[in-house]
Amino acid sequence: MKKVSLLGATGSIGTSTLDVIAHYPEQFSLYAVTAYSNVQKLAEIAQRTNAEVAVIGDKSLYSELKEALKDRGLQTKAEAGEKAIVEVAKAQEVDVTVGAIVGAAGIASTFAAAQAGKRMLLANKESVVCGGQLLMDTVKKYQAELLPVDSEHNAVFQCLHGASEEMRLHHRIILTCSGGPFRLRADLSGVTVEEATHHPNWSMGKKITVDSATLMNKGLEVIEARWLFDTPADRIDVVVHPQSIIHSMVQYGDGVVLAQMGAPDMRNTIAYCLGYPERLNAGVKPLDFSKVGQLTFEAPDLKRFPQLGYAYEALKMGGCGCIMLNAANEIAVEAFIAGRIHFIDIAKVCEVMMNSASSIAPKNLEEVLEEDRRSRILTKEFINGFSGE
């Protein structure tokens, strides 16, 4: 029986993880479940899973969580605050930590799980984008195991399985991209929040859905792939594949390509990581190729979706370029969802803010978090005085 800490249990990845775990009650039990502000949903999850600890990120909600657990007659221990999330990420009792918090708020707990040598199922791509080489070195130093939940990186992980060092020397990574909801829309100036938060193929949280619409999500994935697979950016390509059946590919030195396919359902990749190296069945309907029809491919349009290009630029810049791009995007997406800026302004904010990134790479987690904080403050100031022109 493996004990799991599920960080971000109330979100989209959290919900899919709970669904997969429910299929295997003899293999997994919940040690901890966490959320930021959704107290009632967290308490309901604690009840359903019999979790030992429930943590709410917003400290001011501690009493409310305690009451909610008590009302349900649960023995589950209530905890609150960012430090408490870090504690359950690295707790001795835990075998597997699932990082499904959204945004840079997930960085500290990812590093904590790595330093504790855990098996990490990592959905929180922002940790890899901001932590970069530092995170990968930490994983190696403490013999942690980082299994990528993101469907593209999970696909690459599967395609690289068994490849020798020699074979890896000449591989190319080909990340597939649905193209998002605006692939065929010429003018993006009037995009509404409602339109940008509905993805054609995937059901996901709000932030990543907007990122998919701007292609920033693919940009973050390019950065993620660079570190996860130790592959330089000039050997990472992006191809638009609107059907989302091929989740990504690896081309080896002989030109042959391995592709991983499946239904667009995150339960597949979560089950793969939970069971690794065995395969667990997540209960997702298998692909029926007679119904899939055509698989098509096209180049991404960097004019309408410049944020994908910014990700390559941030990698080239080095220093804190990726941290700044990630923070600027997060703050700009928040402002867009709040109705303060237009959809097309998200890219403008990112472009301008990248010029303010420090050229010195962070040496430890504290410096990563400090640069993230600094980038957010600068971006907020810029948006406050932003005319949109």
Ligand X SMILES: NC(=O)c1ccc[n+]([C@@H]2O[C@H](COP(=O)([O-])OP(=O)(O)OC[C@H]3O[C@@H](n4cnc5c(N)ncnc54)[C@H](OP(=O)(O)O)[C@@H]3O)[C@@H](O)[C@H]2O)c1
Q: Which residues are near ligand X by CB under 6 A? A: 8-14, 35-38, 57, 85, 100-102, 105, 123-126, 150, 202, 204-208, 266
Q: Provide CB contacts within 8 A for 119, sequence distance 6+.
A: 95, 96, 97, 144, 145, 147
Residue with smaller CB distance to ligand X, 150 or 345: 150
Joined tokens for residue 85: 């999330």
User: For residues 83 and 170, which CB has a smaller minimum distance to ligand X in the complex?
Assistant: 83
Q: Least Å distance between CB 42 and ligand X?
A: 7
DSSP type of residue 171: -
Q: Between 51 and 100, name the residue whose CB sits nearer to ligand X.
A: 100
Q: Which is nearer to ligand X, 101 or 308 (CB)?
A: 101
User: Which two three-digit tokens encode residue 189?
Assistant: 């100036």
| Residue 9 or 159 with smaller CB distance to ligand X | 9
By beta carbon distance, the residue nearest ligand X is: 11
**Nearest distance from residue 104's CB to ligand X, in Å?**
9
Pairwise CA distance, residues 330 & 324, whole Å? 10
Q: Are 246 and 176 spatial neighbours (Cβ–Cβ below 8 Å)?
A: yes
Taking the complex as a whole, how short is the minimal distance between the CB of residue 169 and ligand X, in angstroms? Answer: 28
Dig out the tokens for 385 from the structure: 């005085």
DSSP annotation of 252: -
What SS3 class is residue 96? Answer: strand
* Residue (178 or 231) nearer to ligand X, CB: 178
Are the C-beta atoms of residues 145 and 373 closer than 8 Å to each other? no
User: Could you tell me the smallest distance in angstroms from the CB atom of residue 11 to ligand X?
Assistant: 2
d(CA 124, CA 129): 9
In angstroms, give the least distance from the CB of 185 to ligand X: 22
CB 240 → ligand X: shortest distance, Å?
17
Cβ–Cβ under 8 Å, residues 158 and 272: yes
- Which one, 14 or 321, has the nearer CB to ligand X? 14
Contact assessment for residue 80 and residue 62, using Cβ atoms and an 8 Å cutoff: yes
**What string of DSSP letters covers 312-345?**
HHHHHH-TTHHHHHHHHHHHHHHHHHTTSS-HHH
Residues counted in the chain: 389
